[in-house]
Structure 1
Amino acid sequence: MILEKVIPEINIQNEYKEFVDTYMDEVYAEFKTKIHSMYMCGSIPKGTATPFKSDADFTVVCENPADIDYEKLSEIKDRLLKKYPFVTKIDTIFCSIHDVINKPNEWGFWIKVICICVRGDDIGAKVPPIVISPAFILDLNTDTKEEVERVRHWLSNADDRPMQTRYIKGYSKRLLRALYSLILEDTGVWKDDMPDIKNDLLKYCGIDSSIIDDLYACYLDSDVSVEQFLRTADEAYRYIEQTLQAMAASGRSSER
């Protein structure tokens, strides 16, 4: 099975168009020839964003992410968040042309399947079709352990309740998506709407359904304590790690 694009066409709502154009204009003006193309994912390019609730998620493909002055980028973000207060946050990821082309199951997947090009030439067209397979699922989770450990550390050391809530929400979302990656051979499609992810997990995932329900509740800003959340999160990650290890072992056995 080949993964189809999550967002087949751009459908930005009128109230977000000026913000998107202004942000892209300022990023291009600041970094000029260093940028190859810009992409978006999430609710804004799909046309389902909710003012004062939805984030703006950009990805920039460039020759070398190390050439980007991230302090200048932060200044642009801060200025536009004041100008457009209905945007809750601006997330911008940078990746290299080399990684998109040479890591098709990681950055190639992100650009080709998850994102949609909003400015420049779509480099995702150069990425070969993404075929769902155990090897693809393993590649997709290459950085999962590192990301989970990093966010867990931040959450464990956060002493401000609003920050704890933000980390819990983000950590829940990351775990639910990692769990969803494990059932791609069952679903045949990548979904990024959390209610759909939850429903498919309850249908296909072998983990205890209460863990899925708890993670989803935390994603929706449940007032759970950090300690209680981490017990659920650790159990979910153990399942993810064990499933990936079994998948890798099965792949090695089939190669013999």
Structure 2
Amino acid sequence: MADTTRRPGLDAQGFIAREGSLARVPDAFGPVVAAARDRLQAAFGARLHSVYLYGSIPRGTARVGRSDLDLFVVLHEEPADADREAVRALGEAVDQEFWQVDGVGTLLYGRDRLLSDLERYDLGWFVACLCTPLLGDDLAEQLPRYRPDSRLARETNGDLALWLPRWRKRIAATEDTEEARRPLVRFMSRHLVRTGFTLVMPRWNGWTSDLREMAEVCGTYYPERAAQLRTAAEHGHEPTGDPQILRTCTEALGPWLATEYARVHGIKAPRPE
């Protein structure tokens, strides 16, 4: 049963409030954001529908030299492999040019997919609630309001069991160095903490994007996993290349989360490969 207390992250009607704004972007990151925006517009021209920021930079919590720039790019049509390569190269160039960021991550999708019934409670929710408009028409105007319910939990993170085998292959293919493993530790730790939070989100009845708070909330309902969750949250903020952390992600915390998630919320609707 959901907690009837109205938690942070919700509006007066109990819907998840959109987080982030351009006004919160720290001054140090302004040139980075402007460069990414202008280069995306130049790269895609009329094919570009919209661009969004998400993550710590539009939330105003980014750390200079430590945080990454997260971009969500929408084209009028479905992107091709050449488009994905273009955003990868653009992000790499911005990362190398601007010392303020530690990496650039870009999600790239077509407009119709984001507005589809299949993605309404996953990518659509992500755009409407977690993304800050940077350029173009805001797709949130065509999407519903969202509550922190079990359907949202299922459709956002109810596919962890599919990801774990892919993570193991990715780890096996990664160079056996601290530097090469560190991005995997950060990515997988963050993913598991967020999954743990959405597992209990309907019971907690609120929303947060703070990794440490997410871990504490989930640990309240699953105290036997609280220490693992806290450790994952710390490595999401300050990753190391420790292979033991990766083993914990894929062989301990991850499998438990996948099983418990399926039991509580069910399995995410299948997506085309």
TM, length-normalised to structure 1: 0.87
Shift of 1:223: 5.4
Shift of 1:232: 5.3
Shift of 1:180: 0.7
Counterpart in the other structure of 2:260 = 243
Counterpart in the other structure of 1:160 = 177
Q: Deviations over 1:105-141 (max 9, x none)?
A: 1111110111111111110121111133322211112
Counterpart in the other structure of 1:150 = 166
- Write the distance in 1 (CA, Å) between the matches of 2:265 and 2:55: 30
Aligned CA distance change for structure 1 residues 243 and 10 (closer, same or farther; 3 Å)? farther
Aligned CA distance change for structure 1 residues 213 and 132 (closer, same or farther; 3 Å)? closer
Counterpart in the other structure of 1:141 = 157
Aligned residues: 250
Counterpart in the other structure of 1:83 = 97
Shift of 1:195: 1.7
1:95 aligns with 2:99: no
1:219 aligns with 2:236: yes
Counterpart in the other structure of 1:61 = 74
Is the contact made by 1:6 and 1:191 (CA closer than 8 Å) also made in structure 2?
no
Kindly provide the amino acid, as one letter, of the partner of residue 182 in structure 1. L
Is the contact made by 2:220 and 2:226 (CA closer than 8 Å) also made in structure 1?
no
Given candidates 191, 213, 217, the residue that maps to 1:196 is 213
Aligned CA distance change for structure 1 residues 210 and 117 (closer, same or farther; 3 Å)? same
| RMSD (Å) for aligned C-alpha atoms | 2.4
Kindly provide the amino acid, as one letter, of the partner of residue 114 in structure 1. L
Shift of 1:33: 1.4
1:73 aligns with 2:53: no
Q: Deviations over 1:26-83 (max 9, x none)?
A: 1111111111111111111122221110100000111212275333333333332232
Kindly provide the amino acid, as one letter, of the partner of residue 137 in structure 2. D
Is the contact made by 1:57 and 1:91 (CA closer than 8 Å) also made in structure 2?
yes
Is the contact made by 1:60 and 1:93 (CA closer than 8 Å) also made in structure 2?
yes
Shift of 1:89: 0.8
The 3-state SS of whatever aligns with 2:180 is helix
- Write the distance in 2 (CA, Å) between the matches of 1:16 and 1:106: 28
Segments of structure 2 that go 5 or more residues without pairing to the other structure are: 1-13, 267-273
Percent identical pairs in the alignment equals 18
Is the contact made by 2:74 and 2:108 (CA closer than 8 Å) also made in structure 1?
yes
The 3-state SS of whatever aligns with 2:62 is coil
- Write the distance in 2 (CA, Å) between the matches of 1:231 and 1:17: 37
- Write the distance in 2 (CA, Å) between the matches of 1:117 and 1:200: 29
Kindly provide the amino acid, as one letter, of the partner of residue 87 in structure 1. V
Counterpart in the other structure of 2:48 = 35
Counterpart in the other structure of 1:22 = 35
- Which of 224-233 and 108-117 deviates more? 224-233
Kindly provide the amino acid, as one letter, of the partner of residue 140 in structure 1. T
Is the contact made by 1:37 and 1:122 (CA closer than 8 Å) also made in structure 2?
yes
Shift of 1:145: 2.9
Is the contact made by 2:185 and 2:240 (CA closer than 8 Å) also made in structure 1?
no
Is the contact made by 1:179 and 1:205 (CA closer than 8 Å) also made in structure 2?
no
- Write the distance in 1 (CA, Å) between the matches of 2:245 and 2:169: 15
Shift of 1:144: 2.7
Kindly provide the amino acid, as one letter, of the partner of residue 52 in structure 2. Y
- Write the distance in 2 (CA, Å) between the matches of 1:9 and 1:203: 33
- Write the distance in 2 (CA, Å) between the matches of 1:12 and 1:205: 35
The answer to which structure has the higher helix fraction is 1
- Write the distance in 2 (CA, Å) between the matches of 1:28 and 1:210: 44
Aligned CA distance change for structure 1 residues 200 and 94 (closer, same or farther; 3 Å)? same
- Write the distance in 2 (CA, Å) between the matches of 1:67 and 1:233: 29
